[in-house]
Chain A
Amino acid sequence: MIIAQEVSKKYGGHEILHQLSFTIQKGEVVALLGPNGAGKSTLLKILSSYLSPTSGSVSIDGLDLYEYSLELRARLGYLPENVPLYPEMKVGEYLSYRAALKKVRSRRISEKVIDVLDLCGLRSVENKLIETLSKGYRQRVGLADALVNEPDLLILDEPTIGLDPLQQAHIHGLIANLAKRHTLFISTHSLQEAEMLCKRHLILHNGRIAASGTLEELRQQLMLPEASLEEMFLLLTRKDEN
């Protein structure tokens, strides 16, 4: 579904991403792991076509992301890291606006909005202003926004950051539910979350892919048959520091 070939991003003399090549198959749930500054958010911004890579190419469903940007953006659900929303809008109104923007047919907008309100547990706050919502609810609104156009591919940048354990559990439940019907690419700092929700892991370090594969494949690559994801992650990301 996603094929990235030698994607690089340079800015201000720094190489943020260095020739990343990877593939994500339809229906897969992949975790993007890496320490701060590894280039996770930059990679997700490139995949959502917010940023352009300095070199390399990305294709989604066989279509080049830059040539068919508008078409692919209509099929994509993206939740940025800080969940940017318009605070002066009401939840239902915001989701209707986003659905219209994402080319959902006019007569299906209210139906789709109700669906995502139910799915994300937002029915009770439908008529509330976004600025009055807690962080957990805002995160859900962001997720509902990403889902409102029934995207094939969902890109979530740190979907549980800053949430309390109860809110995290709710989002985990939601993501597990979404994983049955969507291709998911999730960036996270939580290794437990990655292990629990994702089948495959892509570990970035200093803008390069340090390792990629399922838990078993990672153990084989590193020749550590008993290692946990955390141990492998620390081993891969501390390598350059020593």
Chain B
Amino acid sequence: MRTFWTLWKREIASYFRTSLAVTLFVFVLVLTGCNFYSSVSLLNHGPTETSIVEAFFNNPVFWITLLALPPLLSMRLYSEEYKTGTIETLLTAPVRGTQVLLVKFFGAFVFFILLWTPSLLYFVLFWPSAHQVAAAGYGAYCGAYGMLLLQGALYISIGCMASSLTSHQLISGMLTFCVIVLFFFSGTLLSSSSLNTMLFRQFLVFFLPMETMKSFSHGIIDTRSIVFYCSLIFLFLFMTFHVVQSRKWRR
């Protein structure tokens, strides 16, 4: 545990030592601010069945923010260690490969949570200023933020995997972005294929990012989606571990 904590402190601090942290905070605050403004603007058009939370978490600006963040957070995880050679001093210290992997993953994930935390304030402040709630119940808040974290964790695990494959941060970031976008639009691609049966459509509903977010932000929490996302996160982390370990057999 002490090793994990030592590694984790350095990993988290590394985000704040560069301008990356400030840049990302500004990026997320501007985009989520615009998103919240556009979600609240819905009320100007008269009564609506869509809550502010649902509008916020299903807005194109939200998806742009969510899809763009993980590549930026994860592209340096292993790539930078490979490029500077610090992976050699790291892996010749008495640390386990799994500790390094979990530290890198949770470091990026905690930073991802920090970036989204200010958005909670929008909903907290909305009630006293507008004298109405942003969602019908706590289920919608929990569902929306829960799905945000699950999708964020999945995209970061994809980023971990991509950065373990190359020493070039840019390639790692681009690869992550491509895989995430492919996953995001996979529903559209699959539903237009010959596999488009009723059963298949039911399957798509519980894993497609937009569909799952729609139901979760409505307060409908489907455990199948949670299991599906957790399994994918585990799969990508497992593959990352083996990619890093396989380097031992190279030159």
- Which A residues are closer than 8 A to B by beta carbons? 9, 11-12, 16, 42, 45, 48-52, 54, 70-71, 73-74, 76, 78, 80, 82, 84-89, 97-98, 100-103, 106, 145
Contact = CB atoms under 8 A, between A and B. Distances in A.
Contacts of B94: 70-71, 73-74, 101-103
Nearest to B90: A101
Interface in B104-150: none
B96 interface: yes
B156 to A, nearest CB: 21
A207 to B, nearest CB: 12
Nearest to B18: A88
B93 A73 contact: yes
B23 interface: no
Nearest to A146: B89
Interface string B238-251: 00000000001111
Nearest to B245: A52
If over half of B's interface residues share one DSSP class (helix, strand or loop), that class is named, otherwise mixed; here it is helix
Contacts of A100: 2-3, 6
17 contacts: A9-B251, A12-B251, A45-B88, A49-B92, A50-B88, A50-B92, A51-B248, A74-B94, A78-B89, A80-B92, A84-B85, A89-B10, A97-B6, A97-B9, A100-B3, A100-B6, A101-B3
B17 interface: yes
B91 interface: yes
Contacts of A106: 2
B170 interface: no
A102 B85 CA distance: 18
A78 B84 contact: no
A86 B86 contact: yes
A80 B87 CA distance: 11
Nearest to A97: B10
B6 A88 contact: no
Nearest to A48: B92
Contacts of A89: 10, 17
Contact of A50 (B18, B84, B95, B248): B248
A78 B251 contact: no
Given A45-B88, A100-B6, A52 B17 contact: no
Contact of A86 (B3, B10, B248): B10
Nearest to B249: A52
Contacts of B87: 84
